[in-house]
Amino acid sequence: MVGLGLKNDKWIKDMSEKEGMIDPFVGHQVREGVISYGLSAYGYDFRIADEFKVPKSGVEDDVLDPKMPKDIKYAGVYGNVVVPPRSHVLGRSFEYFKIPRKVLTLCQGKSTYARVGIMINVTPFEPEWEGHATVCIINASRLPVQVYANEGIAQLLFIEGDLAPLVSYKDKKGKYQASKGITEAKVEPKHK
């Protein structure tokens, strides 16, 4: 049986300062006048960068198909962004992450945004994944919602296993490895 351990602020700080796990790293909570970000007791509140991709739609029948990413048209938005009602935008983390081999992260949106209908979707950062995280910001409300660039968007929890995995994200040459900027969906072609 493999044991799991939630990592605390000391571990996160040490791994970030000595191993470059989070760059840039903020070793305390920044709160005044912003949606908070930085180190917390058992996690790290990361920021959303100042670049976004908003899906364009031409007609009501448009379909966003993750297997046909070249067909999805986006408008680039820089600075703060307003997320339309019952819609989403893509953003990326301000921070660049390098996840250790025995670690997996889980992500939850900030409660400040949850209270106005914003949900955050980020897949777990697998062992030895690195890059900017692409973040899906979903507005479940009936009203537009303002999202602030370079402020907190979500919290990462770091979970370490007793044993390293047989195959890490880096080993399998994952398609989102070393992502920079906002990375759109990638589907590997089917081989015949």
Closest-CA residue to 145 (of 109, 182, 107): 109
**Encoding tokens for residue 21?**
């796990």
The answer to whether the beta carbons of residues 127 and 99 sit under 8 Å apart is: yes
Q: Give pLDDT, residue 80.
A: 97
Question: What percent of the chain is helix, strand and coil (3-state, nearest 5)?
Answer: 10, 40, 50
For residue 181, being part of any structural domain is answered with: no
Q: Give pLDDT, residue 2.
A: 58
**pTM to 2 decimals?**
0.90
* CATH number for 119: 2.70.40.10
CA angle 134, 182, 43 (to 5 degrees): 30
Q: How far apart are CA 40 and CA 43, in angstroms?
A: 5
For residue 168, being part of any structural domain is answered with: no
- φ, ψ at 49 (rounded to 5°): -70, 180
For residue 174, being part of any structural domain is answered with: no
Q: Give pLDDT, residue 72.
A: 73
Q: Mind listing the pLDDT tens digit for each residue in 32-41?
A: 999 999 999 9
For residue 82, being part of any structural domain is answered with: yes
**Encoding tokens for residue 139?**
């507005």
DSSP state, 128?
A: T
For residue 33, being part of any structural domain is answered with: yes
For residue 110, being part of any structural domain is answered with: yes
DSSP string, 44-104: EEEEEEEEEEEE--SSTT----TT-GGG--EEEEESSEEEPTTEEEEEEEEEEEE--TTEE
Please give the share of the chain, as a percent, with pLDDT higher than 70: 92
Domain count across the chain:
1
- φ, ψ at 71 (rounded to 5°): -85, -15
For residue 180, being part of any structural domain is answered with: no
DSSP state, 113?
A: H
For residue 147, being part of any structural domain is answered with: yes
CA distances from 99 to 16, 106, 129, 133, 158 (A): 10, 12, 6, 12, 9
Write out residues in the chain with pLDDT < 50, as ranges: 1
> In which domain, by residue range, is 135 found?
4-56+70-161
Q: Mind listing the pLDDT tens digit for each residue in 92-108?
A: 999 999 999 999 999 99
